[in-house]
Amino acid sequence: MLDDLGAAVPLTGPATRVVSLVPSLTEALAATAPERLVGATDWCTHPADLDVARVRGTKNPDLAAVRALEPDLVVANQEENRELDVRRLRDAGVAVWVTRIETVEESLASMARLLEEALQVPEPGWLVEARRLWGSPSPARVRVAVPIWRDPWMVVGAPTYTDDLLARAGLVNVLAGREGRYPTVTPGDVDAAGPDLVLLPDEPYVFTADDGPEAFATPSRLVSGRLLTWYGPAMVEAHGELTTLTG
């Protein structure tokens, strides 16, 4: 079988010991086949009661700890994880499935294929519901900008999963035309683009009421970064929050 990048994944049967290096995939696996998940990163915070071995971060996983768990599959993501770590795991004989997700449609298809082919489990209810909810885009109604970092200021651009999610929720990303997937800007650039709202997530940078809103003349709103960036069960929650967001 092949992962999203076309790399061979040498599984001879369904994966029964899985280590996840991606928080959103960890949540998806925990909600679908929790008994198969044996390891996850320190950033894998959902579900809150997740009780598996921790293997450090997404960008600096403890590869020795991963191998010690004797997984028959490690799941990773092209954007969130380093190609070097994937290569080292494969060189050590560990099967790795890398996902590539830049749109809502890709997220649904990628997770369905991972669960069906690598784990050989039935399609879970949360995935069925996410596909139903996100199948019909909402009409555009609110113009937004989404900073993800400061010093330097960086925002969500395109093509990214978050940009596509926003568009399907009826939220127009006014900075999608900037060069780069996560362009560097100034607060003045954000205001000048004319958003109705600046959405300030709590990850990867933790914006708060006292850290972020003061930089913009445009009204801002604190939002869950998980709902903006995590594909998986979070997509069901995200639909309810984002499609009802008003300026």
Q: What is the DSSP string of 63-120?
A: HHHHHHT--SEEEEETTTS-HHHHHHHHHTT--EEEE--SSHHHHHHHHHHIIIIII-
Residue 181: φ, ψ to 5°: -75, -30
> Which amino acid, residue 201?
P
Give the pLDDT confidence score for residue 247 in this predicted structure: 78
Domains, in order of start, for the chain = 18-123 (3.40.50.1980), 142-242 (3.40.50.1980)
Give the pLDDT confidence score for residue 66 in this predicted structure: 98
Measuring CA to CA, how many Å separate 42 from each of 51, 57, 60, 202?
Answer: 11, 6, 10, 16
pTM for this entry: 0.93
Give the residue among 56, 58, 62 at the shortest CA–CA distance from 21.
58
Helix (H, G, I), strand (E, B) or coil at 222: strand
Mean pLDDT per 10-residue segment, the chain (247 residues):
97 97 98 98 96 97 98 97 98 98 97 98 97 95 97 97 97 96 98 98 97 98 97 96 91
Give the pLDDT confidence score for residue 241 in this predicted structure: 95
Which residues touch 194 (CB under 8 Å, ≥6 apart)? 143, 174
Can you spell out the DSSP letters for 117-174? III--PPPHHHHHHHHHTSSPPPP-EEEE-EEETTTEEE--SS-HHHHHHHHTTEEET
Helix (H) or strand (E) holding 241: helix 234-242
> Which amino acid, residue 206?
V
Which residues touch 158 (CB under 8 Å, ≥6 apart)? 164, 173, 176, 177, 181
Give the pLDDT confidence score for residue 91 in this predicted structure: 98
